Structure 1
Amino acid sequence: MFDATLLRSFQVVAQEASFTRAAERLHLTQSAVSGHVRRLEEQVGKPLLARSTRSVALTVEGEVLLGYARAILRLNEDARIRLAGTAPSTHVRIGASDDFMSSWLPEVLQQFRSARPGLSLEIRIANTGVLTQAMDRGELDLVVGSRCHGERTGQLLWREPLVWAYARGRLPEAQAPLPLALFPEPCPYRDAALAALAAAGRPWHIAVVSPSVGSLKTAAAAGFAVSPLNRSLVTASLQPLADDAGLPPLPEVEFVVLSRRHDGSREIAEIEAEIVRAARLF
Protein backbone atom coordinates (compact mmCIF):
# COMPACT_ATOMS: atom_id res chain seq x y z
CA MET A 1 0.00 0.00 0.00
CA PHE A 2 1.33 3.44 -0.95
CA ASP A 3 1.69 6.03 1.79
CA ALA A 4 -0.45 9.13 1.24
CA THR A 5 2.41 11.45 2.25
CA LEU A 6 4.66 9.97 -0.42
CA LEU A 7 1.90 10.17 -3.01
CA ARG A 8 1.20 13.79 -2.14
CA SER A 9 4.86 14.76 -2.60
CA PHE A 10 5.02 12.86 -5.90
CA GLN A 11 1.84 14.53 -7.17
CA VAL A 12 3.07 18.04 -6.37
CA VAL A 13 6.47 17.40 -8.00
CA ALA A 14 4.64 16.21 -11.12
CA GLN A 15 2.40 19.29 -11.10
CA GLU A 16 5.25 21.72 -10.61
CA ALA A 17 7.84 19.86 -12.73
CA SER A 18 10.30 20.94 -10.06
CA PHE A 19 11.48 19.57 -6.70
CA THR A 20 12.27 23.10 -5.52
CA ARG A 21 8.78 24.50 -6.20
CA ALA A 22 7.17 21.35 -4.83
CA ALA A 23 9.11 21.71 -1.59
CA GLU A 24 7.95 25.33 -1.30
CA ARG A 25 4.30 24.34 -1.77
CA LEU A 26 4.54 21.47 0.70
CA HIS A 27 6.54 23.49 3.26
CA LEU A 28 9.20 20.76 3.29
CA THR A 29 12.88 20.67 2.49
CA GLN A 30 13.87 19.68 -1.02
CA SER A 31 15.74 16.67 0.35
CA ALA A 32 12.58 15.48 2.14
CA VAL A 33 10.54 15.69 -1.07
CA SER A 34 13.29 13.90 -3.01
CA GLY A 35 13.32 11.21 -0.33
CA HIS A 36 9.56 10.70 -0.64
CA VAL A 37 9.78 10.24 -4.40
CA ARG A 38 12.79 7.94 -4.06
CA ARG A 39 10.87 5.72 -1.59
CA LEU A 40 7.96 5.50 -4.02
CA GLU A 41 10.32 4.52 -6.83
CA GLU A 42 11.80 1.83 -4.61
CA GLN A 43 8.32 0.45 -3.93
CA VAL A 44 7.37 0.52 -7.63
CA GLY A 45 10.74 -0.81 -8.72
CA LYS A 46 10.99 1.62 -11.63
CA PRO A 47 11.80 5.33 -12.12
CA LEU A 48 8.77 7.59 -11.88
CA LEU A 49 10.48 10.81 -12.94
CA ALA A 50 13.06 11.56 -15.62
CA ARG A 51 15.37 14.15 -14.09
CA SER A 52 17.79 16.50 -15.80
CA THR A 53 19.66 19.57 -14.65
CA ARG A 54 16.88 21.80 -16.00
CA SER A 55 13.62 19.85 -15.85
CA VAL A 56 11.62 17.02 -14.31
CA ALA A 57 9.26 14.92 -16.43
CA LEU A 58 7.09 11.88 -15.78
CA THR A 59 8.13 8.48 -17.08
CA VAL A 60 5.49 6.13 -18.48
CA GLU A 61 5.22 4.47 -15.05
CA GLY A 62 5.02 7.92 -13.46
CA GLU A 63 2.05 8.85 -15.63
CA VAL A 64 0.26 5.68 -14.54
CA LEU A 65 0.98 6.20 -10.85
CA LEU A 66 -0.01 9.87 -11.01
CA GLY A 67 -3.53 8.88 -12.03
CA TYR A 68 -3.80 6.48 -9.10
CA ALA A 69 -2.22 9.02 -6.74
CA ARG A 70 -4.85 11.63 -7.57
CA ALA A 71 -7.65 9.13 -7.01
CA ILE A 72 -6.21 7.82 -3.73
CA LEU A 73 -5.60 11.28 -2.30
CA ARG A 74 -9.06 12.44 -3.34
CA LEU A 75 -10.67 9.42 -1.68
CA ASN A 76 -8.64 10.03 1.47
CA GLU A 77 -9.86 13.62 1.59
CA ASP A 78 -13.47 12.64 0.91
CA ALA A 79 -13.33 10.04 3.70
CA ARG A 80 -11.85 12.55 6.14
CA ILE A 81 -14.56 15.10 5.35
CA ARG A 82 -17.38 12.54 5.54
CA LEU A 83 -16.24 11.17 8.88
CA ALA A 84 -15.74 14.67 10.26
CA GLY A 85 -19.34 15.46 9.36
CA THR A 86 -18.43 18.54 7.35
CA ALA A 87 -18.91 19.40 3.70
CA PRO A 88 -16.20 20.97 1.59
CA SER A 89 -16.96 24.39 0.18
CA THR A 90 -14.45 26.05 -2.13
CA HIS A 91 -15.19 28.74 -4.69
CA VAL A 92 -12.59 29.50 -7.37
CA ARG A 93 -12.95 32.45 -9.76
CA ILE A 94 -11.40 31.91 -13.20
CA GLY A 95 -10.94 34.38 -16.05
CA ALA A 96 -10.49 33.09 -19.59
CA SER A 97 -10.31 34.65 -23.03
CA ASP A 98 -12.96 33.81 -25.60
CA ASP A 99 -10.72 31.58 -27.72
CA PHE A 100 -10.04 29.28 -24.74
CA MET A 101 -13.69 29.08 -23.71
CA SER A 102 -14.67 28.34 -27.31
CA SER A 103 -12.42 25.28 -27.47
CA TRP A 104 -11.05 22.81 -24.92
CA LEU A 105 -11.03 24.67 -21.60
CA PRO A 106 -14.71 24.15 -20.55
CA GLU A 107 -14.33 20.37 -20.73
CA VAL A 108 -11.15 20.48 -18.62
CA LEU A 109 -12.85 22.63 -15.97
CA GLN A 110 -15.95 20.43 -15.92
CA GLN A 111 -13.91 17.28 -15.38
CA PHE A 112 -11.98 18.98 -12.58
CA ARG A 113 -15.16 20.22 -10.88
CA SER A 114 -17.03 16.93 -11.16
CA ALA A 115 -14.19 15.11 -9.39
CA ARG A 116 -14.35 17.45 -6.36
CA PRO A 117 -17.64 17.57 -4.47
CA GLY A 118 -18.29 20.99 -3.02
CA LEU A 119 -16.03 22.85 -5.44
CA SER A 120 -17.71 25.63 -7.39
CA LEU A 121 -16.16 27.48 -10.32
CA GLU A 122 -17.08 30.95 -11.54
CA ILE A 123 -15.91 31.82 -15.06
CA ARG A 124 -15.52 35.34 -16.44
CA ILE A 125 -14.89 35.70 -20.18
CA ALA A 126 -13.10 38.81 -21.47
CA ASN A 127 -9.85 39.76 -23.15
CA THR A 128 -6.68 39.05 -21.22
CA GLY A 129 -5.93 42.67 -20.33
CA VAL A 130 -9.30 43.09 -18.61
CA LEU A 131 -8.89 39.79 -16.79
CA THR A 132 -5.39 40.45 -15.47
CA GLN A 133 -6.55 43.81 -14.15
CA ALA A 134 -9.42 42.05 -12.38
CA MET A 135 -6.98 39.55 -10.85
CA ASP A 136 -4.76 42.39 -9.66
CA ARG A 137 -7.83 43.83 -7.89
CA GLY A 138 -8.44 40.48 -6.20
CA GLU A 139 -11.57 39.68 -8.23
CA LEU A 140 -10.15 36.56 -9.90
CA ASP A 141 -7.98 33.71 -8.64
CA LEU A 142 -6.66 32.49 -11.99
CA VAL A 143 -6.49 33.76 -15.58
CA VAL A 144 -5.99 31.79 -18.80
CA GLY A 145 -5.13 34.04 -21.70
CA SER A 146 -2.48 35.45 -24.01
CA ARG A 147 0.19 38.12 -24.13
CA CYS A 148 2.72 39.46 -26.61
CA HIS A 149 5.48 40.15 -24.11
CA GLY A 150 6.65 38.15 -21.09
CA GLU A 151 6.24 41.00 -18.65
CA ARG A 152 4.28 39.00 -16.07
CA THR A 153 4.91 35.85 -14.15
CA GLY A 154 2.93 32.72 -14.95
CA GLN A 155 3.20 29.36 -16.63
CA LEU A 156 3.74 29.31 -20.38
CA LEU A 157 1.35 27.01 -22.25
CA TRP A 158 2.62 27.54 -25.80
CA ARG A 159 3.69 30.18 -28.32
CA GLU A 160 2.55 30.92 -31.86
CA PRO A 161 2.79 33.78 -34.38
CA LEU A 162 0.46 36.79 -34.34
CA VAL A 163 -0.65 37.47 -37.94
CA TRP A 164 -2.72 39.93 -39.95
CA ALA A 165 -5.86 37.91 -40.81
CA TYR A 166 -7.94 38.88 -43.84
CA ALA A 167 -10.34 37.43 -46.40
CA ARG A 168 -8.79 34.56 -48.33
CA GLY A 169 -7.69 35.49 -51.85
CA ARG A 170 -8.02 39.24 -51.28
CA LEU A 171 -5.76 42.12 -50.25
CA PRO A 172 -6.70 45.36 -48.48
CA GLU A 173 -6.30 48.57 -50.47
CA ALA A 174 -2.64 49.54 -50.38
CA GLN A 175 -3.15 53.30 -50.39
CA ALA A 176 -6.14 53.60 -48.08
CA PRO A 177 -5.92 53.69 -44.27
CA LEU A 178 -5.95 50.08 -43.08
CA PRO A 179 -9.36 49.12 -41.58
CA LEU A 180 -8.86 47.18 -38.36
CA ALA A 181 -11.03 44.75 -36.40
CA LEU A 182 -9.76 44.74 -32.82
CA PHE A 183 -10.51 43.55 -29.32
CA PRO A 184 -11.37 46.38 -26.89
CA GLU A 185 -8.70 47.88 -24.66
CA PRO A 186 -6.69 46.72 -22.84
CA CYS A 187 -5.53 44.00 -25.25
CA PRO A 188 -2.02 42.77 -26.13
CA TYR A 189 -3.02 41.99 -29.75
CA ARG A 190 -4.40 45.51 -30.19
CA ASP A 191 -1.35 47.12 -28.60
CA ALA A 192 1.07 45.08 -30.72
CA ALA A 193 -0.79 45.81 -33.96
CA LEU A 194 -1.06 49.56 -33.39
CA ALA A 195 2.57 49.81 -32.28
CA ALA A 196 3.74 47.95 -35.39
CA LEU A 197 1.66 50.14 -37.73
CA ALA A 198 2.87 53.32 -36.03
CA ALA A 199 6.50 52.23 -36.35
CA ALA A 200 5.96 51.45 -40.04
CA GLY A 201 4.14 54.73 -40.68
CA ARG A 202 1.09 52.90 -42.08
CA PRO A 203 -2.21 54.83 -41.75
CA TRP A 204 -5.09 52.93 -40.14
CA HIS A 205 -8.55 53.35 -38.71
CA ILE A 206 -10.60 51.17 -36.37
CA ALA A 207 -13.56 49.65 -38.22
CA VAL A 208 -14.71 47.03 -35.69
CA VAL A 209 -14.31 46.62 -31.93
CA SER A 210 -15.59 43.41 -30.35
CA PRO A 211 -14.72 41.15 -27.40
CA SER A 212 -15.76 38.15 -29.53
CA VAL A 213 -13.23 36.19 -31.58
CA GLY A 214 -16.06 35.06 -33.86
CA SER A 215 -17.06 38.65 -34.68
CA LEU A 216 -13.50 39.65 -35.53
CA LYS A 217 -13.04 36.59 -37.75
CA THR A 218 -16.33 37.27 -39.55
CA ALA A 219 -15.39 40.89 -40.21
CA ALA A 220 -12.00 39.82 -41.56
CA ALA A 221 -13.45 37.01 -43.70
CA ALA A 222 -15.88 39.47 -45.30
CA GLY A 223 -13.02 41.76 -46.26
CA PHE A 224 -14.44 44.47 -44.02
CA ALA A 225 -11.32 44.80 -41.87
CA VAL A 226 -7.94 43.25 -41.10
CA SER A 227 -7.64 41.62 -37.68
CA PRO A 228 -4.48 40.73 -35.72
CA LEU A 229 -5.09 37.16 -34.57
CA ASN A 230 -2.99 34.26 -33.42
CA ARG A 231 -2.14 31.87 -36.26
CA SER A 232 -4.29 28.97 -35.04
CA LEU A 233 -7.45 31.11 -35.39
CA VAL A 234 -6.91 31.52 -39.14
CA THR A 235 -9.53 29.19 -40.64
CA ALA A 236 -10.40 28.30 -44.26
CA SER A 237 -12.17 31.59 -44.96
CA LEU A 238 -9.14 33.60 -43.81
CA GLN A 239 -5.50 34.00 -44.78
CA PRO A 240 -2.51 35.44 -42.96
CA LEU A 241 -1.36 38.36 -45.09
CA ALA A 242 2.15 37.82 -46.44
CA ASP A 243 4.97 40.36 -46.45
CA ASP A 244 3.95 41.59 -49.92
CA ALA A 245 0.78 43.06 -48.42
CA GLY A 246 2.92 45.87 -47.07
CA LEU A 247 2.13 45.29 -43.41
CA PRO A 248 4.76 45.22 -40.66
CA PRO A 249 5.62 41.97 -38.86
CA LEU A 250 3.90 41.19 -35.57
CA PRO A 251 5.38 39.54 -32.45
CA GLU A 252 4.71 36.04 -31.20
CA VAL A 253 1.80 35.37 -28.87
CA GLU A 254 2.39 33.62 -25.57
CA PHE A 255 -0.50 31.66 -24.10
CA VAL A 256 -0.23 31.52 -20.33
CA VAL A 257 -1.99 30.69 -17.10
CA LEU A 258 -1.59 33.22 -14.29
CA SER A 259 -2.72 32.69 -10.73
CA ARG A 260 -2.78 34.25 -7.28
CA ARG A 261 -0.76 31.36 -5.88
CA HIS A 262 0.48 33.40 -2.95
CA ASP A 263 -2.96 32.78 -1.43
CA GLY A 264 -1.85 29.21 -0.75
CA SER A 265 -4.99 27.61 -2.18
CA ARG A 266 -4.49 23.97 -3.05
CA GLU A 267 -7.44 24.08 -5.45
CA ILE A 268 -6.00 27.01 -7.42
CA ALA A 269 -2.65 25.26 -7.74
CA GLU A 270 -4.31 22.02 -8.83
CA ILE A 271 -6.52 23.72 -11.43
CA GLU A 272 -3.48 25.54 -12.80
CA ALA A 273 -1.54 22.27 -13.06
CA GLU A 274 -4.46 20.55 -14.77
CA ILE A 275 -4.76 23.35 -17.36
CA VAL A 276 -1.02 23.15 -18.06
CA ARG A 277 -1.26 19.37 -18.48
CA ALA A 278 -4.29 19.63 -20.79
CA ALA A 279 -2.67 22.33 -22.92
CA ARG A 280 0.21 20.00 -23.70
CA LEU A 281 -2.25 17.51 -25.20
CA PHE A 282 -3.76 19.99 -27.66
Structure 2
Amino acid sequence: MSDIEKPNGRLFDLDLLRAIVTVADCGSFTTAASRLHSTQSTISQKIRRLEDMAGHRLLERGNRDVLPTDAGETLLGYARRLLALHDEMAEALSGATVVLTVRIGVPDDFAAGRTTEQLAAFNRRYPQVKLEVTSGLSRDLSASYDRGELDLVLLKQRQNSREALVCWPERTCWVDSARNPCINLDPLPIVTFPPRGVYRDEMISALESVGRRWHISFTSSSLTSLQSAIADGMGIGLLPLRAVTAEHRVLPKNTVLPSVDAFEVALLHRPVADPMVKALARVLSQVLAQETAG
Protein backbone atom coordinates (compact mmCIF):
# COMPACT_ATOMS: atom_id res chain seq x y z
CA MET A 1 0.00 0.00 0.00
CA SER A 2 1.21 3.54 -0.70
CA ASP A 3 -1.24 5.38 1.51
CA ILE A 4 -2.52 5.35 5.05
CA GLU A 5 -6.23 5.83 5.63
CA LYS A 6 -7.65 8.24 8.17
CA PRO A 7 -10.68 7.29 10.22
CA ASN A 8 -12.77 9.77 8.17
CA GLY A 9 -11.88 7.91 4.98
CA ARG A 10 -9.31 10.35 3.56
CA LEU A 11 -5.88 9.11 2.56
CA PHE A 12 -2.43 10.46 3.33
CA ASP A 13 -0.47 10.00 0.14
CA LEU A 14 3.19 9.13 0.56
CA ASP A 15 4.10 11.73 -2.06
CA LEU A 16 2.65 14.43 0.21
CA LEU A 17 4.40 12.99 3.25
CA ARG A 18 7.73 12.92 1.41
CA ALA A 19 7.24 16.57 0.48
CA ILE A 20 6.75 17.75 4.08
CA VAL A 21 9.62 15.61 5.39
CA THR A 22 11.95 17.08 2.76
CA VAL A 23 10.84 20.66 3.54
CA ALA A 24 11.36 20.04 7.27
CA ASP A 25 14.82 18.54 6.67
CA CYS A 26 15.89 21.36 4.34
CA GLY A 27 14.20 24.15 6.27
CA SER A 28 13.26 25.67 2.91
CA PHE A 29 10.63 25.16 0.22
CA THR A 30 13.10 26.19 -2.49
CA THR A 31 15.79 23.70 -1.42
CA ALA A 32 13.20 20.95 -0.97
CA ALA A 33 11.83 21.58 -4.46
CA SER A 34 15.32 21.26 -5.92
CA ARG A 35 15.97 18.02 -4.02
CA LEU A 36 12.65 16.55 -5.19
CA HIS A 37 13.14 17.77 -8.78
CA SER A 38 9.96 19.82 -8.53
CA THR A 39 8.90 23.46 -8.32
CA GLN A 40 8.39 25.54 -5.19
CA SER A 41 4.74 26.13 -6.06
CA THR A 42 4.12 22.40 -6.45
CA ILE A 43 5.70 21.67 -3.07
CA SER A 44 3.64 24.45 -1.47
CA GLN A 45 0.45 22.98 -2.97
CA LYS A 46 1.31 19.55 -1.57
CA ILE A 47 1.85 20.99 1.91
CA ARG A 48 -1.47 22.86 1.72
CA ARG A 49 -3.26 19.66 0.66
CA LEU A 50 -1.66 17.82 3.56
CA GLU A 51 -2.66 20.57 6.01
CA ASP A 52 -6.24 20.47 4.70
CA MET A 53 -6.34 16.69 5.20
CA ALA A 54 -4.76 16.86 8.65
CA GLY A 55 -6.99 19.72 9.77
CA HIS A 56 -3.98 21.51 11.30
CA ARG A 57 -1.30 23.96 10.27
CA LEU A 58 1.82 21.81 9.94
CA LEU A 59 4.57 24.30 9.09
CA GLU A 60 5.37 27.82 10.25
CA ARG A 61 6.95 29.87 7.50
CA GLY A 62 9.38 32.40 9.00
CA ASN A 63 11.71 34.92 7.40
CA ARG A 64 14.65 32.53 7.43
CA ASP A 65 13.49 29.02 8.28
CA VAL A 66 10.48 26.80 7.88
CA LEU A 67 9.72 25.04 11.17
CA PRO A 68 7.12 22.38 12.05
CA THR A 69 4.28 23.20 14.41
CA ASP A 70 3.42 20.82 17.26
CA ALA A 71 0.97 19.03 14.95
CA GLY A 72 3.65 19.03 12.26
CA GLU A 73 6.15 17.36 14.60
CA THR A 74 3.59 14.63 15.33
CA LEU A 75 2.88 14.07 11.65
CA LEU A 76 6.59 14.09 10.76
CA GLY A 77 7.26 11.27 13.22
CA TYR A 78 4.70 9.03 11.55
CA ALA A 79 5.67 10.20 8.06
CA ARG A 80 9.33 9.27 8.53
CA ARG A 81 8.39 5.79 9.72
CA LEU A 82 5.99 5.24 6.83
CA LEU A 83 8.53 6.43 4.27
CA ALA A 84 11.25 4.28 5.82
CA LEU A 85 8.98 1.21 5.64
CA HIS A 86 8.05 2.03 2.06
CA ASP A 87 11.70 2.39 1.01
CA GLU A 88 12.63 -0.77 2.88
CA MET A 89 9.88 -2.68 1.10
CA ALA A 90 10.97 -1.28 -2.27
CA GLU A 91 14.56 -2.35 -1.63
CA ALA A 92 13.46 -5.84 -0.55
CA LEU A 93 11.32 -6.31 -3.65
CA SER A 94 14.08 -5.06 -5.93
CA GLY A 95 16.45 -7.67 -4.58
CA ALA A 96 18.61 -5.15 -2.69
CA THR A 97 20.92 -6.57 -0.04
CA VAL A 98 20.02 -4.06 2.68
CA VAL A 99 18.75 -6.01 5.67
CA LEU A 100 18.94 -3.32 8.35
CA THR A 101 18.48 0.45 8.48
CA VAL A 102 20.18 2.31 11.32
CA ARG A 103 18.88 5.83 11.98
CA ILE A 104 21.50 8.08 13.56
CA GLY A 105 21.24 11.59 15.00
CA VAL A 106 24.25 13.88 15.47
CA PRO A 107 24.69 17.61 16.29
CA ASP A 108 25.81 19.84 13.42
CA ASP A 109 29.43 20.12 14.59
CA PHE A 110 29.78 16.32 14.48
CA ALA A 111 28.14 15.94 11.06
CA ALA A 112 31.43 16.18 9.17
CA GLY A 113 35.10 15.29 9.41
CA ARG A 114 36.06 12.14 11.31
CA THR A 115 32.47 11.30 12.18
CA THR A 116 31.30 11.01 8.58
CA GLU A 117 34.59 9.36 7.59
CA GLN A 118 34.00 6.59 10.12
CA LEU A 119 30.33 6.25 9.19
CA ALA A 120 31.33 5.81 5.55
CA ALA A 121 33.99 3.26 6.53
CA PHE A 122 31.42 1.35 8.58
CA ASN A 123 29.04 1.35 5.60
CA ARG A 124 31.74 -0.06 3.33
CA ARG A 125 32.52 -2.77 5.86
CA TYR A 126 28.83 -3.67 6.33
CA PRO A 127 27.11 -2.91 2.99
CA GLN A 128 23.97 -4.69 4.16
CA VAL A 129 23.44 -1.92 6.73
CA LYS A 130 21.83 1.28 5.48
CA LEU A 131 22.76 4.36 7.50
CA GLU A 132 20.36 7.30 7.71
CA VAL A 133 22.03 10.28 9.40
CA THR A 134 20.11 13.30 10.69
CA SER A 135 21.92 16.39 11.99
CA GLY A 136 20.40 19.21 14.00
CA LEU A 137 19.89 20.72 17.43
CA SER A 138 20.31 18.35 20.35
CA ARG A 139 16.85 19.22 21.68
CA ASP A 140 15.29 18.05 18.39
CA LEU A 141 17.45 14.94 18.18
CA SER A 142 16.52 14.03 21.75
CA ALA A 143 12.81 14.40 20.97
CA SER A 144 13.17 12.27 17.82
CA TYR A 145 14.97 9.58 19.79
CA ASP A 146 12.24 9.56 22.44
CA ARG A 147 9.61 9.18 19.70
CA GLY A 148 11.44 6.13 18.36
CA GLU A 149 12.58 7.85 15.17
CA LEU A 150 16.31 7.37 15.84
CA ASP A 151 18.20 4.22 16.84
CA LEU A 152 21.48 5.84 17.89
CA VAL A 153 21.90 9.44 18.95
CA LEU A 154 24.69 11.77 19.97
CA LEU A 155 23.53 14.63 22.17
CA LYS A 156 24.91 17.72 23.85
CA GLN A 157 23.35 18.03 27.27
CA ARG A 158 23.85 19.57 30.67
CA GLN A 159 26.07 17.33 32.75
CA ASN A 160 24.31 14.35 34.33
CA SER A 161 20.93 15.37 32.92
CA ARG A 162 20.26 12.08 31.15
CA GLU A 163 21.64 8.60 31.52
CA ALA A 164 23.74 7.54 28.54
CA LEU A 165 26.01 4.74 27.36
CA VAL A 166 29.02 7.00 27.71
CA CYS A 167 29.63 10.74 28.19
CA TRP A 168 32.52 13.11 27.53
CA PRO A 169 33.00 16.65 28.85
CA GLU A 170 32.19 19.29 26.22
CA ARG A 171 34.99 21.87 26.06
CA THR A 172 33.55 25.29 25.25
CA CYS A 173 35.06 28.75 24.89
CA TRP A 174 33.96 32.33 24.40
CA VAL A 175 34.65 33.39 20.82
CA ASP A 176 34.89 36.82 19.20
CA SER A 177 35.59 38.00 15.66
CA ALA A 178 39.26 38.16 14.72
CA ARG A 179 38.64 41.09 12.35
CA ASN A 180 35.86 43.02 14.06
CA PRO A 181 35.93 42.27 17.81
CA CYS A 182 32.89 43.06 19.94
CA ILE A 183 34.11 42.27 23.44
CA ASN A 184 34.41 45.94 24.46
CA LEU A 185 30.94 46.98 23.26
CA ASP A 186 28.31 47.92 25.83
CA PRO A 187 25.81 46.36 25.83
CA LEU A 188 27.63 43.27 24.61
CA PRO A 189 26.05 41.70 21.49
CA ILE A 190 25.73 37.93 21.66
CA VAL A 191 25.19 35.30 18.98
CA THR A 192 23.28 32.24 20.09
CA PHE A 193 20.92 29.38 19.35
CA PRO A 194 17.13 29.89 19.67
CA PRO A 195 15.31 29.49 23.00
CA ARG A 196 15.89 26.03 24.51
CA GLY A 197 18.98 25.71 22.31
CA VAL A 198 22.19 24.45 23.84
CA TYR A 199 24.44 27.04 25.59
CA ARG A 200 21.91 29.90 25.42
CA ASP A 201 20.73 29.97 29.04
CA GLU A 202 24.24 29.37 30.36
CA MET A 203 25.63 32.25 28.28
CA ILE A 204 23.05 34.65 29.65
CA SER A 205 23.54 33.46 33.24
CA ALA A 206 27.32 33.83 32.95
CA LEU A 207 27.06 37.39 31.62
CA GLU A 208 24.58 38.43 34.28
CA SER A 209 26.70 36.89 37.04
CA VAL A 210 29.42 39.46 36.31
CA GLY A 211 26.98 42.32 35.75
CA ARG A 212 27.67 42.58 32.03
CA ARG A 213 24.95 44.23 29.96
CA TRP A 214 24.04 42.26 26.84
CA HIS A 215 21.59 41.93 23.98
CA ILE A 216 20.98 39.14 21.46
CA SER A 217 22.14 40.33 18.05
CA PHE A 218 21.83 37.11 16.04
CA THR A 219 19.91 33.87 16.54
CA SER A 220 20.02 30.75 14.39
CA SER A 221 19.53 27.00 14.72
CA SER A 222 22.44 26.51 12.29
CA LEU A 223 25.92 26.19 13.75
CA THR A 224 27.42 27.33 10.45
CA SER A 225 25.34 30.52 10.58
CA LEU A 226 26.48 31.20 14.15
CA GLN A 227 30.11 30.69 13.18
CA SER A 228 29.74 33.15 10.31
CA ALA A 229 27.90 35.73 12.40
CA ILE A 230 30.64 35.71 15.04
CA ALA A 231 33.39 35.89 12.40
CA ASP A 232 31.69 38.87 10.72
CA GLY A 233 31.44 40.83 13.97
CA MET A 234 27.76 40.38 14.84
CA GLY A 235 28.66 39.51 18.43
CA ILE A 236 30.46 37.06 20.66
CA GLY A 237 29.33 33.49 21.21
CA LEU A 238 29.98 30.32 23.14
CA LEU A 239 31.21 27.51 20.91
CA PRO A 240 32.79 24.08 21.31
CA LEU A 241 36.52 24.26 20.61
CA ARG A 242 36.10 22.05 17.54
CA ALA A 243 33.86 24.69 15.96
CA VAL A 244 36.38 27.55 16.24
CA THR A 245 37.77 28.71 12.87
CA ALA A 246 40.67 30.88 11.74
CA GLU A 247 38.26 33.84 11.52
CA HIS A 248 37.56 33.63 15.24
CA ARG A 249 39.46 34.83 18.28
CA VAL A 250 39.17 32.68 21.38
CA LEU A 251 38.81 35.01 24.33
CA PRO A 252 41.40 34.21 27.00
CA LYS A 253 40.22 32.78 30.28
CA ASN A 254 41.37 35.86 32.16
CA THR A 255 38.73 38.03 30.50
CA VAL A 256 35.76 39.24 32.51
CA LEU A 257 33.62 36.45 31.05
CA PRO A 258 33.34 33.38 33.29
CA SER A 259 34.09 29.92 31.94
CA VAL A 260 31.10 27.73 31.12
CA ASP A 261 31.79 24.07 31.80
CA ALA A 262 28.26 22.75 32.22
CA PHE A 263 27.94 20.48 29.21
CA GLU A 264 28.77 16.97 28.09
CA VAL A 265 28.48 14.94 24.90
CA ALA A 266 26.37 11.80 25.40
CA LEU A 267 25.88 8.71 23.25
CA LEU A 268 22.62 6.77 23.56
CA HIS A 269 20.95 3.67 22.18
CA ARG A 270 18.30 1.40 23.62
CA PRO A 271 19.30 -1.68 25.67
CA VAL A 272 17.58 -3.95 23.12
CA ALA A 273 19.36 -2.35 20.15
CA ASP A 274 20.42 -4.51 17.21
CA PRO A 275 24.05 -5.77 17.38
CA MET A 276 24.87 -3.57 14.37
CA VAL A 277 23.67 -0.50 16.26
CA LYS A 278 25.89 -1.46 19.18
CA ALA A 279 28.83 -2.05 16.82
CA LEU A 280 28.35 1.40 15.30
CA ALA A 281 28.13 2.91 18.80
CA ARG A 282 31.57 1.47 19.57
CA VAL A 283 32.96 3.06 16.41
CA LEU A 284 31.48 6.45 17.29
CA SER A 285 32.77 6.14 20.85
CA GLN A 286 36.32 5.90 19.53
CA VAL A 287 35.82 8.94 17.31
CA LEU A 288 34.24 10.97 20.09
CA ALA A 289 36.98 10.10 22.56
CA GLN A 290 39.44 11.74 20.15
CA GLU A 291 37.15 14.68 19.23
CA THR A 292 36.55 15.63 22.85
CA ALA A 293 40.05 14.94 24.16
CA GLY A 294 42.02 17.75 25.37
TM over 0.5: yes
- For 1:161 and 1:106, the matched residues in 2 are separated by 21
- For 2:233 and 2:104, the matched residues in 1 are separated by 35
User: 2:122 is matched with which residue?
Assistant: 112
Q: TM-score, normalised by structure 2?
A: 0.59
- For 2:262 and 2:160, the matched residues in 1 are separated by 11
- For 1:120 and 1:188, the matched residues in 2 are separated by 30
Is 1:225 equivalent to 2:254 in the alignment? no
The change in CA–CA distance for 1:281 and 1:226 in structure 2 (over 3 A counts) is closer
Quote the sequence identity (%): 30
User: 1:163 is matched with which residue?
Assistant: 173
- For 1:253 and 1:238, the matched residues in 2 are separated by 21
Q: TM-score, normalised by structure 1?
A: 0.62
Task: Map 1:96-245; keep pairs closer than 5 Å.
Answer: 96-156=106-166, 158-168=168-178, 171-172=181-182, 174=184, 176-243=186-253, 245=255
Give the CA deviation at 1:193.
Answer: 1.1
Give the CA deviation at 1:208.
Answer: 1.5
User: 2:286 is matched with which residue?
Assistant: 277
Is 1:262 equivalent to 2:271 in the alignment? yes
- For 1:233 and 1:114, the matched residues in 2 are separated by 28
The change in CA–CA distance for 1:165 and 1:198 in structure 2 (over 3 A counts) is same
Give CA-to-partner distance per residue, 1:16-59, whole Å, 9 cap, x none: xxxxxxxxxxxxxxxxxxxxxxxxxxxxxxxxxxxxxxxxxxxx
- Corresponding letter in the other structure for 1:269: K
- Corresponding letter in the other structure for 2:128: G
Query: Which consecutive aligned stretches of 4+ in structure 1 deviate over 6 angstroms post-superposition?
Result: none
Higher deviation after alignment, 185-194 or 167-176: 167-176
Q: Could you tell me which of 238, 244, 250 is aligned with 2:260?
A: 250
The change in CA–CA distance for 1:161 and 1:274 in structure 2 (over 3 A counts) is closer
Give the CA deviation at 1:86.
Answer: 11
Unaligned runs of 5+ in 2: 1-94
- For 2:256 and 2:136, the matched residues in 1 are separated by 31
Task: Map 1:23-34; keep pairs closer than 5 Å.
Answer: none
**RMSD (Å), alpha carbons:** 2.6
- For 2:286 and 2:118, the matched residues in 1 are separated by 10
Question: Computing the radius of gyration over CA atoms, which structure comes out larger, 1 or 2?
Answer: 1
Kindly indicate which of the two structures has a greater share of residues assigned to helix.
1
